[in-house]
Every structure is written in C-alpha cells, then in structure tokens.
Amino acid sequence: MAFYDEPRFTRDSDVLLHPEDEERIVGESVKAWKFRSAPSILCRLAKTQGEEIVPVDILVGKTKRVDAIIDNAVNQPWSKGVRVATKKDIIEQKMSRGSDQDNVDGQEAEK
C-alpha cells in the first residue's frame, strides 16, 4: 500500500510467493503457520537493520487468486528486480480480508 497511497508504518514487509518457490526462498528450517480459514501458509522471518528487527511475512499462496496477484505484479524503477502487486490487486486483497484497518486502507487507496 505504501507505494500507491499514504505510507503507513506497519512494522513488517509482506511478500507473496508461488508454492513452487517456497522451499527455494524460505527453506525447510522455517516454521510456517497454516491459516484455518484460507489455503495459505505464512512464514515469518526477521531481517535486521542495525539493532532494529523488521519482520518479513512471506505468504505462500495456494489459490488461483494469489497466483494472479503475483503474475500481475509489476517492476518499479526503484525496485531492483522486486515486483510490486498492482494497486487494484492490493485493494481487492485488503477489502476481502474484512479487518477494520484493511477496510480503511482499501477505501483510502480507492480515492
């Protein structure tokens, strides 16, 4: 969201992966959480920046919708090869989660 709307510090970064990339990126030593209500896996890693620890949430999608978000992602000039989900896909994903903050984020981004 920070790339398309007013940045809001959430204290983490989110990354989406195709299932076939999970082992190559995450590895076997990371404990993953499986969501009860969705066919996705969440792996939480920590990146250090000096003395600060920044969580990195890696969501391994097991649905066609997550595959489409990844496939639709675009390169940004500053991204050095990292693709960013489209604004439309981020808004749809946020609005589908139904949390109060995600609804606010989605509505603000639609303006």
Specify if 2 maps to a domain.
no
Residue of 26 and 29 predicted with greater confidence:
26
Specify if 8 maps to a domain.
no
- Provide the residue type at 106 as one letter: G
Residue ranges making up the domain that contains 104: 13-110
pLDDT class for 52, splitting at 50, 70, 90? confident
User: What total of structural domains would you count in the chain?
Assistant: 1
Mean pLDDT score, 60-85: 83
Mean pLDDT score, 91-108: 78
Residues in the chain: 111
pLDDT tens digits along 36-49: 566 677 777 777 77
pLDDT at 95: 79
The Cα–Cα gap between 100 and 95 comes to 9
Specify if 6 maps to a domain.
no
Nearest to 109 by CA among 81, 90, 82: 90
Stretch (H or E) spanning 35? none
Exposure class string for 82-97: b at 16+ Cβ within 10 A, else e: eebbeeebbbebbeee
